[in-house]
Structure 1
Amino acid sequence: MTEPNEPNQPSEPDHPDEEQIAEAWRSAAHITLAPGPREVLEEAPAPDEEWTLPGGKAWVYLANPKFGLDKPVLLGDGFNTGPSDLDFSWEILERGPYPFISELRQRGRDVVLIGFDERSASILENAEVARAAIREAIARRKSGHPLAVGGFSMGGLVTRYALAKMEHDSEDHRTALYFSYDSPHRGAWIPIALQSFAHYIRKLNSAFSNQMNSPAARQLLWQHIAEWDDSPETDKERTEFTAELERVGGWPRQPRKIGVANGVRTGEGNGIAPGERAFRGKGLAITGTHLYTQPAGEDQLVAQLRVVTLRKPQIRTSGLPEIDGAPGGTLEGFGILADELNKIPAIIGLGSEAEIREHCFVPAVSAVALRDVDTHQKLYEPFPESSESEDSELDEYLCASQNEGHTLVTEELCTWIMDRLP
């Protein structure tokens, strides 16, 4: 693979050419970063209702189909690429550690899963889908019971903006509770090492780079690069999104605002040390690629890249904290990359190993809207329970008792939310 603005580099002898590698990649691997299972083995049960919405849809599971919609709980989908997938949502919400949908319905709640035609589209665009779902729920209710509206990960930001915009526009959303589940209110994190690799291999396969450069990724990520050799910065789209959020009030003011984090509040990190090799290429076409966890300091090595060509450019960063090991919800970014590359036939030479599979994705302080994530102290300093805190922008929050997977659906966090439903 030739470098941008560089003369052609010779391929190694007796090795598949770029076209062969690209074709093998297209047929075997699909690198996108998202929590949850990579494959769904069982279909979700058919919903009681399906609403067609502009830019998306909603799948409705009623507590009592004979009665109809009574006490709606609306859940916005999280970040990924392509359209929302009901089977995937059901796998995460129902077949994981805790059957959240079933428990909600047993408590007499109607579950409305909000899906988007394109999950990587702008948060502002998908907020219009959420607004349409809220209007539909209000129109279809059989009683005057207020709504509970929220979402997982990006879905918490989508619904936060949707409710705030409705209030700004003097539209009654009839919502008594807003909730977020490990949503990156102060920004999310994908290691610069992974972002640089995504863009470096764009010529062979663009899907990973497209995801990292999508509108939603640019809005969610605290630090972003658009090209493999860029310097990390807050993307213009994130700046514009946060400005628009503030323009409509920042948060909805009418409902009570609660949130949960898949990370701890004690300051205890997830055990991932900075500056450690997390990923290495083993096949002939990728030997020489090394991706490292984020170290602090100046001119720090985070990646050495080599795919097909003989060159091995290095990626260095300055002024970033040791965020991969911070308290918060984790994502198996390095592991997903290695797993997908290892699906490609060995003859292609892209065999890889993830020596460290995961990294912090949503720091706990971001999920509870307490602090920014730009320094070691802000990330790692312990903070109190919500009843003792005046710093969070949420009315109440709960942090997990251990650092765990981003948006992992647990009894601990789900029962806390359900106990607060209107």
Structure 2
Amino acid sequence: MAQEPRIDVETRAQGVEHSLTSEQVERISEALGRQGVWFAAPPSRRGDARPADRTWDLVGDWAHEGRVATGRAAVHLAEGHDELTRPFILADGFNYGPSDLDELWRHFNAPYQKGTPGFLDQLRAMGIDVVLLGFDQRQIHIQANAAVAASCVLRAIDERRGDDPLVVGGVSMGGMVTRYALARMESERIDHQTDKFFSWDTPHLGAWIPLVLQQLAYLHEALQPRSDGPGQAELIRSPAAQQLLWGWVESADYSGPVTTSSRLRTEFLEDLRRVGWFPMRPYKLGVANGVGNGTGPDLPPGTPVFDLHHDPLQLTARIQPNLGELQNVGTVRFGAPVWTSATSWVPAFDGAPGGTLDSWGKIADAMGLPIQDRYRSSSFVPAVSAIALARDPFEWSADLYRDLTDLPKDETFLDAFCCDIANGPHGAVTKTLAEWVLEQLAGW
């Protein structure tokens, strides 16, 4: 039986903040850089967003742990339509705070090649009405926002003219939210009238943020607590992050297993199984922002990315090593080690083929550290996760580099999928993926 992946931290005291002088705390805080929520992606604000033809304020169709989530949908009618006829519901993904539906439009409708209309405008030209679904708190429990998705589906059915079926899905976490919503509706015998489900670089088996970067967020927060808003690790400790991340740590000093460290992930996966795992009625489509040939970005396991030497301070953070026992991923020293972190039996996630996130780059920029371009981004949603490889989410990591080119049909939970021709930014709209989805919907 394989060893369970884990992380081990050694400190000179109960917490790093208690083992340092006030001057040392200040030096590390300066090195770690800016305040704010780390890993949260700010909107680009580039380009114009099409004004919605109508908007829906949505309230979750059920409560989760006593909380009813809320959200909003922006309806963009197809060319020539004056009523909702063929709804295509696209749910927003994971981030901190409320969805920005204008930004979601800009992102998915940005032209992916010169002279070609954006993806959403092409849908509208095909007679498909685009419904962009957002959430007021993207970081809360997936089940809570799934209730908002269910409410959106029922609203679309209620306002639709005619009886054309729906297409429902989302980008990133939005694919998990709608996957759970449709599956739960089926388990409760609620007719969702959905013909196709789609997911765009969705972490069906899990997502990855380097463990050492999670720890640095907690470390900065411990050394420089915020009193006027969320701290650096707010997104990492959020319910949705715990439910989605393959490996998660609860603090800078945490030692123990990383795949089963959050009860929220265990409970969510059990809940997902209870409602059917995937919705059964729709034809299930998925796209991955990574390649399918098993070749990941060039990120040699164990390579130092940050290697700050500012006498007497030394701070090191490394690309995730490949397996092994007590492999160093991070160190903070003031002469003698103050904090060291090592992983055991954790695979080389950073270099896996898949949709990438510029986590290393964002933290380097926050810390004012130089970084090679090749190290700015690492795998966030491995391709095997985005195409829903038929594996247990707690066991799937051994197949990170699998060649998916001729994958047998029973090896994925999806009915059809498409991988990109390069490992690109998570959630990016590329020619390969957009045209594959458009082709899948052409006969709908």
> What is the TM-score with the length of structure 1 in the denominator?
0.88
Q: Distance in 2 between matches of 1:72 and 1:309?
A: 62
Residue 315 of structure 1 and its aligned partner are, at CA, apart by: 0.7
Which residue identity does 1:319 align to in structure 2? Answer: W
Q: Residue in 1 aligned with 2:23?
A: 12
Q: Report the counterpart of residue 91 of structure 2 in structure 1.
A: 76
1:93 counterpart SS class = helix
CA contact (8 A) 1:328 1:360 kept: yes
**Any residues of structure 2 matched to 1:361-372 within 5 Å, and which?**
361-372=380-391
1:55-204 map, 5 Å: 55-64=70-79, 66-95=81-110, 97=112, 99-203=118-222, 204=224
Residue 232 of structure 2: SS of its match in structure 1? Answer: helix
Query: Given the alignment of the two structures, is residue 380 of structure 1 paired with residue 401 of structure 2, yes or no?
Result: yes
- Structure 2: give runs of 5+ residues left out of the alignment: 1-12, 60-69
Distance 1:154-1:284 versus aligned 2 partners, 3 A rule: farther
Amino acid of the residue matched to residue 397 of structure 1? F
SS, match of residue 298 in structure 1: coil
CA RMSD of aligned residues (A): 2.7
Q: Does 1:351 align with 2:396?
A: no
User: Does structure 2 retain, via aligned residues, the 8 Å contact 1:328–1:404?
Assistant: yes
In the alignment, does 2:251 pair up with 1:251?
no
Matches of 2:96 and 2:127 in 1, distance apart?
33
Shift of 1:11: 3.5
Structure 1 residues 127 and 225: alpha-carbon distance in aligned structure 2, compared to 1, 3 A threshold = same
Could you report, residue by residue, the CA deviation over 1:26-80 in whole angstroms, capped at 9, with x for unpaired residues?
4xx552244xx65324452321111000110001111136521111100011000
Distance 2:58 2:221 in 1: 33
Letter in 2 for 1:416: W
Using a 3 Å threshold, how does the CA distance of structure 1 residues 85 and 382 change in structure 2: closer, same or farther? same
C-alpha distance in structure 1 between counterparts of 2:51 and 2:396, whole Å:
46
Instruction: Say yes or no: does 1:47 pair with 2:73.
Output: no
Gaps of 5+ in 1: 342-349
**Residue 314, structure 1, aligned to residue 323, structure 2:** no
Counterpart selection for 1:261 from 284, 288, 293: 288
For residues 433 and 46 of structure 2, the distance between their equivalents in structure 1, rounded to whole angstroms, comes to: 26
> Residue 272 of structure 1 aligns with which residue?
299
1:213 aligns with 2:240: no
The one-letter code sitting in structure 1 at the alignment partner of 2:370 is E
Q: Give the Cα–Cα distance (whole angstroms) in 1 for the partners of residues 211 and 159 of structure 2.
A: 46
How many matched pairs? Answer: 402
Indicate conservation of the 8 Å contact 1:322/1:376, yes or no.
Answer: no
Give the TM-score taking structure 2 as reference length.
Answer: 0.84
Deviation at 1:258, TM superposition (A): 1.1
Displacement, 1:110?
A: 0.7
What is the rounded CA distance, in whole Å, between the counterparts of 2:250 and 2:305 in structure 1?
Answer: 22
3-state SS, counterpart of residue 338 of structure 1: helix
Q: In 2, Cα distance between the equivalents of 1:138 and 1:283?
A: 61
- Are residues 290 and 375 of structure 1, via their aligned partners in 2, closer, same or farther at CA, if it must alter by over 3 Å? farther
Q: CA deviation at 1:413?
A: 0.8
Q: Secondary structure at the match of 1:408?
A: coil
**Which amino acid is the alignment partner of residue 257 of structure 1?**
K
Q: Which residue of 1 aligns with 2:66?
A: none
Determine helix, strand or coil for the equivalent of 1:178: strand
Tell me the equivalent position of 1:32: 39
Query: Residue 350 of structure 2 corresponds to which residue in structure 1?
Result: 324
% identical equivalent positions: 40
CA contact (8 A) 1:12 1:310 kept: no
What is the DSSP-based 3-state SS (H/G/I as helix, E as strand, rest coil) of the residue aligned with 1:134? helix
SS at match of 1:74: strand
Of residues 422, 431, 442, the one that matches 1:411 is: 431
- Contact 1:267/1:381, CA 8 A, preserved across alignment: yes
Alignment-mate amino acid for residue 45 of structure 1: R
Q: Distance in 2 between matches of 1:292 and 1:408?
A: 26
| C-alpha distance in 2 between matches for 1:333 and 1:366 | 19
